[in-house]
Chains A and B, each alone.
Chain A
Amino acid sequence: MSSFRGRDVLSIRDFSRADIDTVLKAARKMVPVALGKKVSRSLEGKILGTLFYEPSTRTRLSFESAVSRLGGRALGFSSAEGTSVQKGETLADTIRMVEAYSDGIVLRHPQEGAARLAAGFSEKPVINAGDGAGQHPTQTLLDLYTIWDEKGTIEGQTVALVGDLKYGRTVHSLTYALAELGANLMFVSPPTLEMPREIIEHVKEKGLTFRLAHRLEEAIRDADVLYVTRIQKERFPDPQEYEKVAGSYRVDADLLRDAKRDLIIMHPLPRVTEISPDVDRTKHALYFKQAFNGVPVRMALLDLILGGGS
């Protein structure tokens, strides 16, 4: 797509390689503004509806920070409690109302497909900020930005995705995007939490190199990027089994002795125990920078869609 103006952002799969490139480059230009070192008024007078039907810390705050840094305002709610949703209003009706009050809508909702439904009822652009176990495209864009900004390119990088690859929506969207951009992939997970078959099929169709592994040690030497995700306790019927499995996917300073010198470690956060605190002090740790990158990436998107960016 040549122009972003007025466009919905529903799934990362709607983005071509050129689209992703446009967002990454625009995001880099936004960094000084995100840091408060430069001032931009490109969204002056604009109102962004932020509808968060379920709690979110990073996503909501970074969207609000992004719109404020560009001179616009956010208007919305951070949980469904106390809103007309509790009185039984449909999402479709809420969207029609908020559309009238704002220039664009950011939506986080617990059900899959909510953002696509919202986009069908709104003339104003809708940005999906996570729909249940479905899509979370702005998270994927900030993950891509982090790799690109640090490594200079995404093509040819060996990215190891670690943890719960079966249920984690973040890793699914990221895999589609990395496959589109020509990265080499390693899927490291317990046998019960492997990447779904259809996603592996997709990677194969793209003709990319990939590897499946069950142990972190098998992946650590070759990886340029280690993308770690949380293994959730509720996926295991037996708590002891959980402890055992979670323990074997913990990244610590010991493990990193075999890693490439310029390995970067990413995590969508919040982390629990899967990255040991002793890793935080190493030059490999990039997860807090990654969380910050959410602001310039969301600024770039908002500017391209609602502001003067092109």
Chain B
Amino acid sequence: MRELRVTPIKNGTVIDHIPAGMALKVLKILGIGDNVSSTVTVAMHVPSHAMGWKDIVKVEDRELGVREIDKIALIAPSASVNVIRNFNVAEKRRVSLPERVVGILKCGNPNCITNAREPVEAEFLVKSKSPLRVVCRYCDRELEDIPAHIV
């Protein structure tokens, strides 16, 4: 019998097929730091048939919302998200990048109106999915270093 490096979880979310090396950024997006009350398992550089190498993140007792999944798509567009209930895969979702990214990224242009005290969320248009390129809908600037600008 094959031995699993990472054991199954009872309830929670498994994020699989994360590009190798991006697992810690996924944790950052999910806001997982020292403040979590459940177990989080991170597997890095795991052999994968499809990808060569991949990372996996398992978060126990937490089901991810659509908005959180969209956020993951910004740094791990190939990831799949499995919602686990009582050791079974209850839902299988592919992350998918929307055409517009609203309220997830902050504009890198300090003089953009979305960085002023105005009642709007920053909004980006996806110019290209691979490589990922996004442009601010307000100031028209392309956002550099996307992971650093995740809200």
Contacts and interface: CB of A to CB of B under 8 A. Distances in A.
Nearest to B136: A113
A111 B110 CA distance: 9
A116 B118 contact: no
A178 B140 CA distance: 19
A97 interface: no
A131 B114 CA distance: 13
Contact of B138 (A90, A92, A112): A112
Given A117-B138, A134-B140, A198-B142, A112 B116 contact: no
Contacts of A11: 140
B113 interface: yes
B116 to A, nearest CB: 6
A133 B140 CA distance: 11
A91 B139 contact: no
A117 B140 contact: no
A90 B120 CA distance: 11
A132 interface: yes
Contact of B119 (A90, A112, A132, A135): A90
A116 B138 contact: yes
Given A91-B113, A133-B111, A112 B120 contact: no
B142 A113 contact: no
A16 B125 CA distance: 20
Interface string B74-102: 00000000000000000000000000000
24 contacts: A11-B140, A90-B117, A90-B119, A91-B113, A91-B116, A92-B119, A109-B113, A110-B111, A112-B139, A112-B141, A113-B113, A113-B114, A113-B136, A113-B138, A114-B113, A116-B113, A117-B113, A117-B118, A131-B113, A132-B139, A133-B111, A134-B139, A134-B140, A198-B142
Given A92-B119, A112-B138, A113-B138, 6 more contacts: A111-B116, A112-B109, A112-B112, A116-B113, A131-B113, A198-B142
